[in-house]
Amino acid sequence: MASKSSEELDWKSIVNPFKPFIIKLHNDMVEKDLEKAKFCSRQKLGSAVLEKIQTPLELFQKLEDYNIITEDDTSFLEQIYQHIKHNTGLHEIQEYKSMRKRHREFERLLAVKSDPLFVGRDDELMRIMKAFVELVEPAGGCCCVVLAGPPGIGKTKISIKTCAIFSAYLKDGGVVKSYLVNLRNVASFGAAGAAIMNAIGFKEISPTTFRIDDLLQWMPPKDSETIIYLDNADDILRPRSTSRDDFTNFLCEFLEESKQRIKFLITTRYKIDSDVLIERENFHQLDLKPLELSDAEKLLLRSSGIPSLDDGLCTSLVSVCGRNPHAIRALASRLKQGQIKPKKLLEILQKPVPDSRILDCRYQMNMTEDGQEIEQQESVLNCLRVLFNQLDKDSKKYLIKLSVFPSFFYEEVATVILDEDESMISLYLQDLCIYGVLEFEKLDQFVNIASGAGNFNQYNLHTLVRMTCAGATKEDDSLRKLRDTAMAAFLKHYHQVLNNISEVANMNFKEGLEMYQNDKVNLMQYIEHAAKIQSQQTAKELDFSKEDKRYLIISSLVDADRRSEYFKNALAKAEKEKDGITYSLMCAWLGEQYISQAKLEEVHEIVDKGLTTLEKLNASEKHHKNAMIAKAACLYVKGRAFADQREYNDSLDCLQKSLDIRTKLEGDHTMTARALNAIGNVFYLQKKLRDAQRYHEQAWEMIKIITEGKPELHLDSSVYIMNLGACFRSWGNRHMDANEPEKGEQQYKKALEWFDKALEMQHNSFPGLEIEQTAKILKNRALCHFELEDYSEALPDAEKSLRIIQRIFKKENPETARCLYFVGTTHHHIGKKILKSTEVSEDERADAHKNFEKALKFLEDAYNMEHKLGPGRQSQDYEELKREIVDVLKSMGEDEDPIVRWEQRFAETDKQKQSEVYNMSYEKVGPPTSSLATLRDDASAETGTPPAKKGLQNCHIA
């Protein structure tokens, strides 16, 4: 590791070593030498520029401004010093060249630093480097630097350069690993956390399985420094974002860590205003402003290649750009082509442009969130619009087509969108980069980019440019048609990619998961666009059996908040297009979202709309394969809702009809297996264990067929194994009821074997995925130990199950209430078991009382949640919960007063009108946060009270 402290470092030399060199070099030059040097430079700079130069430093700076001398090319300096015969200066130049040669090994650093289109940010770079390096010695530590500023201000370029410089600075003394995480359009904390974990190598983490501890516990090697660069963290840090506080709280926790050598570098439009963060020494925030006037002029001269430009004209040109680096580079690209004179370009830019800023709703929302950003960017947008109008016809066409990408893209995908000769695509993209309207990023310095196969260098169409394109298509029909054509190609391409992944996932979910996470295609962006943009495909052209498989991947990997919105948008789109078949299928999929939220009345309402729509189709459409699959989906969801309402006959009727359709049209299929499993669940709820076991076994056998004998590859496998174990546990309950304890224990042990197998399969197949079904398996295993009166064995599983469920269902939910109840009653039984001993010491008595207190706390939390849920949404444990609270109070030796007060509370809850509570609580519940919570037909349907242990419900997944 480097040995110098931050106070000893010459930061100017580290960030820009050339500047200190020329400052030192000019000191020994006398006036006579300056005149000779100016004479040597007359062909390079011109007489008008030379007349204004008064000092050697001014001369060197002008030569640098015009890119005549650079940190890697000092040949013209040598010519000057040879001409004036200045041996000391020549010696200093040779020393500098030797130093540069020694640093040639830092190729990535040199590549970034030699970029002539990056000027004027030395102070910012020095501040970031100082923040990073001052924590390197002696023991390392965490650090976070936030770059905040409007679009186009240069946040990304500063960050990429910082990673390169820091890597080179520590080259001799340690290893620096940099990871790039693009958070564009990432609005939830879980999605941001999963993106970070995936970038650093934990590929199985999804938005809802991410835990802060996962990252806080991740320790890079002791001899390495790590930079995690979060680019475009705009949506999650938006002032009114619901995840903003979660994200800043995470940063607070992260900065408490003292042993890790991790640096977070974050770019965003929005400043962080958390006092707790701002006051920390290892948190630094830079508010980036437009370039200083001198730097803006330098950037224009360097990037335009113009040898000289009138100072007043140069100042005016950068001023109309708002001194915004992105707009200046775009303007300079027009001057560099030589097709327009600077004065003429200024006249065009100074003319007011009609207000055509009727933007795509996405950008309008993002840019006006704080009420000022659009106004702040007015001059930049005006500049870019004028420059867009100056482009040739082909460049406009390509730019408009590329604007359909919501984020970055790769050359091979651009080939599909542009529909041009593949051999020419690279040239077209390079032309747009030359014009300054497209950006190319070489990202091989980042570990998670360079380690991948293929060309991972990416193109970016800046937000401001996409906004300009959106405005142009609003006014010009021909441009709008080009964009529509590109969008159709965009949708078709990503639809096919998603279908391919879904086909794989149906047989091998782990492989599908890896394809989803590793594929260079930004599938999340596709899913959002597909819900909003009109597709040219009709329901008859789609294969709904493939759509079913797509649902597997969408419901598994898409963030829950976005998933519900996706289905609502898709439903509205189908209704608008009068596409009855697709509308009905979307009704089913949206209904399944409502099941996970225990909104059963809404399930029936939305599914009945789908079934009614199908009935109104004409005869040929009604019997179309896709219509029948849509009907099967609606019946399946409706059957599950009936099961949760204990309307078992109606449930079986719907599910059997769904199964018949699935079997006929799809045969061995994930959805067919789920229908079998759902029927098994209904029989289980009816305590018809033989029938339940038979259907669960059929579902399990079908998964083996689908996966060609490798059921561990399918996500549903652990569910079906668990359900078979639940059947054995219920057999155990029956034997206990019949006073056959030996047979009962034997069945419980069989059940435990199945539960252990389910957990082992899930952990081995999908490590790190702690989803709702993990919680169910743990709870089933805990219930088995509970029935065996091994309460201390039951408690850890019960508590872990609760933690997972609380993470998945962050708001009021019947499932959370049930888990709270189970943990509470387990503590209660631990306490009672202690007091059953013939001799109880004072310490044991105290332990028992502590368990009673814990029991009451968990039970009270469960009751408060049941109260908020209200009639119609309360869990099936509600009545037993009330009795358990009273029993705990009696165990604690409480008098009648506390019991009476609790009974009064029970009465208040029971008096609630269902409609009032429904309106009060439903809006608060929201969709579950688990991306896998609604994947299955494994709805949480748990059943009756086993007499062996009053108050506990069987745990089973449909």
Contact 162, 265 (CB under 8 A): yes
Highest-scoring range by mean pLDDT, 162-166, 516-520, 617-621: 617-621
| pLDDT classification of 117: cutoffs 50, 70, 90 | low
Is 657 or 239 the better-scoring residue by pLDDT? Answer: 657
- Which pLDDT band, with edges at 50, 70 and 90, does 922 fall under? very low
Q: CA 23, CA 8: separation in Å to the nearest integer?
A: 20
Taking phi over 0 as left and psi of -120 to 50 as alpha, with beta for the rest, 682 belongs to alpha
Distance separating alpha carbons of residues 780 and 413, to the nearest angstrom = 47
Percent with pLDDT over 90 in the chain = 22
pLDDT of residue 533: 43
Residue 668, token pair as written in the block: 């061995």
Structural domain spans, the chain = 1-105, 106-289, 538-667
Length of the chain measured in residues: 958
pLDDT in tens, 212-266: 777 777 767 666 788 999 998 988 998 878 888 889 988 888 888 766 678 899 9
Buried b (16+ CB within 10 A) or exposed e, 539-549: bbebebbebbb
Report the candidate in 731, 727, 724, 726 with the shortest Cα–Cα distance to residue 746.
731
Is 60 exceeded by the pLDDT of residue 916? Answer: no
* Residue 135: per-residue pLDDT: 53
Alpha carbons 599 and 644: distance in angstroms, whole number = 10
The mean per-residue pLDDT over the stretch 869-879 comes to: 83
783 has a pLDDT exceeding 70: yes
Considering only 293-297, 493-497, 515-519, which range has the smallest mean pLDDT?
515-519
- Domain 1-105 classification at class level: mainly alpha
What's the burial of 279, exposed, middle or buried (CB within 10 Å: 0-12/13-18/19+)?
exposed
Most confident of 171-175, 754-758, 766-770: 754-758
Range with lowest mean pLDDT among 154-168, 204-218, 713-727: 204-218
Cβ atoms of 487 and 360 closer than 8 Å: no
Where helices occur in 462-599 by DSSP H, the ranges are: 463-475, 477-507, 509-518, 523-532, 544-557, 560-576, 580-596
d(CA 550, CA 469): 32
pLDDT at residue 849 tops 50: yes
Q: Please give the span between the terminal C-alpha atoms of the chain, in angstroms, as a whole number.
A: 57
Residue 375's pLDDT band (cuts 50, 70, 90): very low
Task: Name which residue leads in pLDDT, 236 or 202.
Answer: 236
Please give the angle made by the CA atoms of 463, 365 and 268, to the nearest 5 degrees. 50
Do 528 and 406 touch, CB atoms closer than 8 A?
yes
Residue owning tokens 């893209």: 409
Residues 6 or more apart in contact with residue 802 via CB below 8 angstroms? 775, 816, 819, 820, 822, 823
Given CA atoms 120, 125, 126, 127 in this order, what sign does their dihedral have?
Answer: positive
> Among 128-142, 223-237, 432-446, 817-831, which is the least confidently predicted range?
128-142
Question: Three-class SS string for 61-80?
Answer: HHHHHCCCCECCECHHHHHH
Summarised one tens digit per residue, pLDDT across range 660-683 is 999 999 898 888 999 999 999 999
Please tell me whether residue 207 adopts helix, strand or coil conformation.
coil
Determine the average pLDDT of the residues in 546-555: 50
For 624, half-sphere exposure in the C-beta direction (CA atoms, 13 angstrom radius) is 22
Q: Any idea what DSSP says for residue 935? A: S
Higher pLDDT, 928 or 375: 375
The residue among 212 and 659 whose pLDDT is bigger is 659
pTM of the complete model beyond 0.85:
no
Give the pLDDT confidence score for residue 525 in this predicted structure: 52
User: Which residues lie closer than 8 Å to 442 by C-beta, 6 or more apart?
Assistant: 111, 457
CATH superfamily to which 106-289 belongs: P-loop containing nucleotide triphosphate hydrolases (3.40.50.300)
d(CA 647, CA 645) in angstroms, rounded, equals 5
Tell me the mean pLDDT in the region 435-456: 66
Model confidence at 797: pLDDT above 90: yes
Could you report the per-residue pLDDT of 140-158, keeping only the tens digit for each?
568 899 999 888 888 888 8
How large is the average pLDDT for residues 762-789? 82
Per-residue pLDDT band at 208 (split at 50, 70, 90): low
Q: What are phi and psi of 834, to 5 degrees?
A: -60, -45
* Pick from 612, 695, 618: nearest CA to 651: 695
- Structure tokens, 338: 């030589």
> Which amino acid, residue 34?
L
Number of H helices, E strands in the chain: 48, 7
Burial class (CB in 10 A: 0-12, 13-18, 19+), 563: buried
Task: Indicate if the pLDDT at residue 396 is higher than 70.
Answer: yes
Give the mean pLDDT of 578-585.
Answer: 86
Give the residue-averaged pLDDT of 841-849.
Answer: 90
The dihedrals phi and psi of 109, each to the nearest 5 degrees, come to: -60, -45
Q: Compute how many other C-beta atoms are within 10 angstroms of the C-beta atom of residue 526.
A: 18
Q: Evaluate the CA torsion angle 430, 431, 435, 438 in order and state its sign.
A: negative
Backbone φ and ψ for 45, nearest 5 degrees, come out as -110, -25
Q: Per-residue pLDDT for 109 more than 50?
A: no
What pLDDT was estimated at residue 461?
81
Q: What is the pLDDT of residues 512-524, one digit of tens each?
A: 555 555 444 455 5
Of the candidates 957, 955, 938, 958, the one whose C-alpha atom is nearest the C-alpha of residue 785 is 955
**CA–CA separation, 462 vs 152, rounded Å?**
8
Q: Give me the pLDDT at residue 564, please.
A: 65
Mean pLDDT across 423-438: 83
Q: What is the pLDDT of residue 511?
A: 61
pLDDT higher than 50, residue 939:
no
Asked if 142 contacts 263 with a C-beta cutoff of 8 angstroms, the reply is: yes
More confident residue, 128 or 928: 128
- Asked whether the domain spanning 538-667 has the same topology as the one spanning 1-105, the reply is no
Integer Rg of the chain from CA: 34
Q: Return the higher-pLDDT residue of 951 and 65.
A: 65
pLDDT band, very low/low/confident/very high, at 632 (cuts 50, 70, 90): very high
Per-residue pLDDT at 631 exceeds 90: yes
Q: What is the pLDDT of residue 955?
A: 44
Question: What integer best gives the mean pLDDT of the chain?
Answer: 77
Check if the beta carbon of residue 74 is closer than 8 Å to that of residue 25: no
* Domain boundaries 538-667, CATH class: mainly alpha
